[in-house]
Structure 1
Amino acid sequence: MKYNLLGNTGVLVSEIALGTMTFGGGDTWGIFGSLDEKEAGRLVDQALDAGVNLFDTADVYAEGRSEEILGKVLKGKRHQAIIATKVRARTGLGVNEIGLSRLHIIQGVEASLKRLGTDYIDLYQIHNPDQITDWEETLRALDDLVRSGKVRYIGCSNMSGWEMMKARGISGRYGFNTFKSSQSYYSLAGREIEREIIPVVKDQNMGLLIWSPLAGGFLSGKYTRDHQGSTNDRHTKFAFPPVDKEKSYAIIDVLQEIAAARETSVASIALAWVLNQEVVTSVIVGAKRPDQLQSNLEASGIILNEDELARLDEVSRLPEEYPAWSFMENDENIVRKHTQK
């Protein structure tokens, strides 16, 4: 297992993290998985044995049961794990049981600590931005949690580049602890973070944690133009994140060719592409069965060559958007003028 620094924290995290959205189930969350404590414990032990030290959950997953199960199966092994959880989503029927107010954040962290059976959270992330709460209110509450020792580091998720910079600017102005990482969606079928989120992460020396690197399973190898999945498949039931299917089928064609040449799976190559991106700190994978997790873990050892990376980049590349294309045109004109001289 390879380990990468989590931004400027000095903390090393495994390049593959285990996501726990499959733990707990329930009416709403069962579509992702309904693993009980015994089944989840088997996956966590398998991950630990492989060198995984980062485990990602959220207070909202399976209405809190994901955190409860993770806490129970890590009992006696807490020192081996870096636990990342989140706050923001609705956790109850009360009018204030949602958002990033100081009230909800403090209630949220206390509830998560209790469910996880621990006295500190390694990485506490805001799940999404909150449009009605002032950023200073949110960031001061998070800073207080770090200073209290209940939280070691804070991170953000699903934020745009300008929102991340605004938050960091406010934190810098008041001397608050800053976001150390961004958890964002990134896959061969969804490369939008390359436009502004990745530049911010690189410029600000933040960690980048990736969710849904297989585009909700669409790049798992189960889906092709000829076989578009069964009614029981997760992506058939819940097409999230959204993908451009025609473009994704072209990506899958290339993945199949590379996977066949390397005698491995389409999913492993799709994961390896994300892992081969230098800016990526850790890729969060989910699994329902040990064989699925093992397949994901094996991607950690795959180093794609220049030709393979170029082929995958070409078939999945984002179209240039303004103002990027205007810079390119100007740069090309400048080069052309100097060349002609």
Structure 2
Amino acid sequence: MKYTQLGHTGLQVSRIVLGTMNFGPQTDEGASHAIMDAALGAGINFFDTANAYGWGENKGRTEEIIGSWFAKGGGRRDKTVLATKLYANMGVDEPWPNHHKLSAVNIRRSVEASLKRLGTDHIDIYQFHHIDRLTPFEEIWQAIDVLITQGKILYAGSSNFPGYKIAQANEIAARTGRLGLVSEQCLYNLAERRAEMEIIPAAVDYGLGVIPWSPLHGGMLGGILRKEREGSGSRSQGGIAVQTLAKPGVREQVLAYEELVAKHDLDPAEVALAWLLTRPGVAGPIVGPRTADQLDAPLRAVELDLPQEFLTALDDIFPGPGPSPEAFAW
């Protein structure tokens, strides 16, 4: 495994991030524990979750599964860089007032609940899962300061933030001598490169580590057409992948991608992950295996060195939007 510093922090993280969203809904507790054991054994030390994972009436279940894994001991918690998120309303039957978004009261309630479910005394990176258009960052940072002082969190990160909110958050933090955001978790992959217009430049300029989610675009970049021909596709390759393939020109792009990868005797999923590791600011993409065996491709991707001519060919198939404002202006 290779490691990097997370943004401008002193925190060293693996270049692959273990996503846990499947833990509970698709992967039971025993299998989830096996995946975490395998990941840690392979050197993946960066685990990502959220208080809402488990979904519906099972919100919080994923954090509980991670907590029961930590409880097994063996240094599991000390060896793990743990990131979780808050924003969603955690009411099951009906929304609870002041139990969502980024108000100071919800930040306090949410961190206490996550710490309890996770069975730990601190969270390494506490991430805002979405922007809050009503709560000012002055209030948010004051609440985060309290948690840092109490030792309940070490850093704050963002997820699904536009570039201007990254700038706003960190400018307000800087005015008051705070560290600000240290990471941004965003939708970013070969087929979805709009983040390059403003999110990635903002993250790089403000020293945030970028953590791409959906690096295979819902399975579309994982050899979906080959699997379609072979009849070996899985249910997980529905949803966003099928919908995106139906858009004009996309199937042709994916076919060209798979043909290029096959020509070089490479695996499409590994290439998609390795490509992200070449991008400015990227700390590591999030992978969400449903079994321990599905960690093999991400581990190989870390060691994959893509030559410049191959990267150029990928750009020809999936051209990025270009920087802003040129992407949408003269």
TM over 0.5: yes
* Corresponding residue for residue 168 of structure 1: 170
Question: CA contact under 8 A between 1:214 and 1:220: conserved in structure 2?
Answer: yes
1:142 to 141, 144, 163: 144
Letter in 2 for 1:161: G
Distance between the aligned counterparts of 1:64 and 1:108, measured in 2?
A: 11
Counterparts in 2 of 1:148 and 1:5: CA distance versus 1, 3 Å: same
Letter in 2 for 1:68: E
Distance between the aligned counterparts of 1:227 and 1:130, measured in 2?
A: 44
Q: CA RMSD in A?
A: 2.4
* Corresponding residue for residue 14 of structure 2: 14
Question: CA contact under 8 A between 2:273 and 2:298: conserved in structure 1?
Answer: yes
Distance between the aligned counterparts of 1:96 and 1:295, measured in 2?
A: 42
Distance between the aligned counterparts of 2:204 and 2:250, measured in 1?
A: 27
Question: CA contact under 8 A between 1:189 and 1:243: conserved in structure 2?
Answer: no
Per-residue CA shift, 1:158-183, capped at 9, x if unaligned? 00111111111111122233101111
Distance between the aligned counterparts of 2:116 and 2:209, measured in 1?
A: 27
Letter in 1 for 2:40: L
Question: CA contact under 8 A between 1:87 and 1:108: conserved in structure 2?
Answer: yes
SS in 2 for 1:277: coil
Distance between the aligned counterparts of 1:235 and 1:216, measured in 2?
A: 6
Question: CA contact under 8 A between 1:189 and 1:215: conserved in structure 2?
Answer: yes
Higher mean C-alpha deviation, range 263-272 or range 10-19: 263-272
Distance between the aligned counterparts of 2:62 and 2:175, measured in 1?
A: 36
Counterparts in 2 of 1:135 and 1:112: CA distance versus 1, 3 Å: same
Counterparts in 2 of 1:325 and 1:109: CA distance versus 1, 3 Å: closer
Higher mean C-alpha deviation, range 222-231 or range 9-18: 222-231
* Corresponding residue for residue 185 of structure 1: 187
* Corresponding residue for residue 337 of structure 1: none
Letter in 2 for 1:87: L
Say whether residues 1:132 and 2:124 are aligned partners.
no
Letter in 2 for 1:44: M
SS in 1 for 2:78: helix
SS in 2 for 1:324: coil
* Corresponding residue for residue 65 of structure 2: 69
Distance between the aligned counterparts of 1:191 and 1:241, measured in 2?
A: 18
Alignment of 1:101-250 (within 5 A): 101-223=103-225, 233-236=235-238, 238-239=239-240, 243=244, 245-250=247-252
Alignment of 1:94-105 (within 5 A): 94-105=96-107
Higher mean C-alpha deviation, range 312-321 or range 197-206: 312-321
* Corresponding residue for residue 88 of structure 1: 87
Question: CA contact under 8 A between 2:270 and 2:301: conserved in structure 1?
Answer: yes
Counterparts in 2 of 1:182 and 1:320: CA distance versus 1, 3 Å: closer
SS in 1 for 2:154: strand
Per-residue CA shift, 1:253-308, capped at 9, x if unaligned? 34323432443421111111112224211111001122222122211111111111
Alignment of 1:227-306 (within 5 A): 233-236=235-238, 238-239=239-240, 243=244, 245-306=247-308
Question: CA contact under 8 A between 2:321 and 2:327: conserved in structure 1?
Answer: no
Letter in 1 for 2:214: S
Distance between the aligned counterparts of 2:225 and 2:27, measured in 1?
A: 24
Identity rate of aligned residues, in percent?
Answer: 40
Counterparts in 2 of 1:208 and 1:320: CA distance versus 1, 3 Å: closer
Per-residue CA shift, 1:173-227, capped at 9, x if unaligned? 2223310111111101100110011111111121111111001112111246975
Counterparts in 2 of 1:166 and 1:43: CA distance versus 1, 3 Å: same
- Alignment TM-score, normalising by the size of structure 1: 0.87
Deviation at 1:109, TM superposition (A): 0.3
Q: For structure 2, which runs of at least 5 residues remain unmatched after alignment?
A: none
Deviation at 1:251, TM superposition (A): 3.6
Per-residue CA shift, 1:209-251, capped at 9, x if unaligned? 1111001112111246975989962342x32797464444344
SS in 1 for 2:290: coil
SS in 2 for 1:323: coil
Counterparts in 2 of 1:302 and 1:151: CA distance versus 1, 3 Å: same
Counterparts in 2 of 1:241 and 1:51: CA distance versus 1, 3 Å: farther
* Corresponding residue for residue 77 of structure 2: 78
SS in 2 for 1:282: coil
| Relative contact order higher in (CA < 8 Å, ≥ 6 apart) | 2
Question: CA contact under 8 A between 2:184 and 2:211: conserved in structure 1?
Answer: yes
* Corresponding residue for residue 58 of structure 1: 50
Q: For structure 1, which runs of at least 5 residues remain unmatched after alignment?
A: 26-33, 330-341
Deviation at 1:322, TM superposition (A): 6.7
